[in-house]
Structure 1
Amino acid sequence: MFRARIRLVAMAALVLLTSLPASAGSNKDADTSDVLGTWTFQTRPYRNGECLMTGTMHLSPHPEPGQYACELTAVEVCSLWGRSVVRQSCQARRFGDQVSIRSQIEEMLESKVEGLVYMPDNFTLTIESANRMFGALVSAVTAPAEFRRANDGIS
């Protein structure tokens, strides 16, 4: 009687597992193409509401699994010192649904303040869908940030 119950439970579990869709329980790291491409981003206001950052980021393939080459252009507007536009190279790493972006400044394209010290813009993000990542700017300041997939239009 006991063995019959165990067999019945085992068969029920097997039927349940084989009826699940193939994508159930799959590892997101297996398909890294979903974050490749161009993204726009915006932070929430920071420095007591005086500053806001927007920009674009492009993620491209890297030979190492879970890594991406990237470049970003950040536009920071602060009522305290004006507008800065900074081109940065970056490396991105993906761990499941988490993406870590570490940047290096390549060129200061625009700055209203002579000698302004601008720190590289790093981000820690969570992939929420194929079109949205949310997380934080982690640089000289910390602020919530949202990334949306850019719509490449026809010009």
Structure 2
Amino acid sequence: MRLALAACLAACLAVMTPGAQATEGDKDPGDILGNWTFQTKPYREGQCVMTGTMRLTPDAESGVYDCELTAVEVCSMWGRSVVLQQCTARRFDNQLSIRSEIDQFLESKLEGLVYVPDNFALTIQSTKRMYGSLVSAATAPAIFIRAEEGIS
């Protein structure tokens, strides 16, 4: 009887302990909303790197986010391009898939340069950090860090 009572008490405490029953799927879908900055590792034999910003906003569909992404690609062979892109992000547990469409070129150094939309496959490590890969005309490891909101 004492053993059964102890087991019941332990089970009750586990249920009452905050976060004890939380699983990855129970995370608040809004935990990644907001502004992010990102950077890739060098690619194209070390000649290019991409940095930028992304804003994630809620969509009516569960697990889907609307986003706007501004990518700044700097390549030693053709200069700098700044591209505004509209995107959709789909979340599956701690995975985030971002698919972009080019909205407008804000800056382009090389006339006639073909620019492919920037897509990403990410793992959500925390509410402040995601990591994964740029999947576009080139691939490269990428890290996303939540932008710190300043006071103006």
Q: So what's the TM-score if we normalise by structure 1?
A: 0.88
Shift of 1:22: 3.6
Which residue number corresponds to residue 99 of structure 1?
Answer: 96
1:75–1:84 CA contact under 8 A, matched in 2: yes
Q: Distance in 1 between matches of 2:62 and 2:18?
A: 22
Shift of 1:32: 0.8
1:70-149 to 2 correspondence within 5 Å?
Answer: 70-149=67-146
1:8-47 to 2 correspondence within 5 Å?
Answer: 8=3, 13-20=7-14, 21-30=17-26, 31-47=28-44
| Count of aligned pairs | 149
Q: Distance in 2 between matches of 1:17 and 1:103?
A: 46
Which residue number corresponds to residue 51 of structure 1?
Answer: 48
Runs of 4+ in 1 over 6 A off after TM superposition: none
Q: Distance in 1 between matches of 2:147 and 2:49?
A: 19
**Amino acid in the other structure paired with 2:13:** S
1:27–1:96 CA contact under 8 A, matched in 2: no
Q: So what's the TM-score if we normalise by structure 2?
A: 0.90
Q: Sequence identity, in percent?
A: 62
Q: Distance in 1 between matches of 2:20 and 2:89?
A: 26
What do you get for the CA RMSD once the two structures are aligned?
1.7
Matched, 1:68 2:65: yes
Q: Distance in 1 between matches of 2:131 and 2:87?
A: 18
Give the secondary-structure state (helix, strand or coil) at the position aligned to 1:19: helix
Q: Distance in 2 between matches of 1:14 and 1:111?
A: 66
Shift of 1:69: 0.5
Residues 55-112 of structure 1: CA deviation (Å, up to 9, x unaligned): 0000001111111000000000000100000000000011111111110001011111
**Amino acid in the other structure paired with 1:18:** C
1:58–1:72 CA contact under 8 A, matched in 2: yes
Q: Gaps spanning 5+ residues in structure 1: where?
A: none
Q: Gaps spanning 5+ residues in structure 2: where?
A: none
Q: Distance in 1 between matches of 2:59 and 2:53?
A: 19
Residues 26-62 of structure 1: CA deviation (Å, up to 9, x unaligned): 2444411110000000000001110000000000011
**Amino acid in the other structure paired with 1:61:** P
Give the secondary-structure state (helix, strand or coil) at the position aligned to 1:16: helix
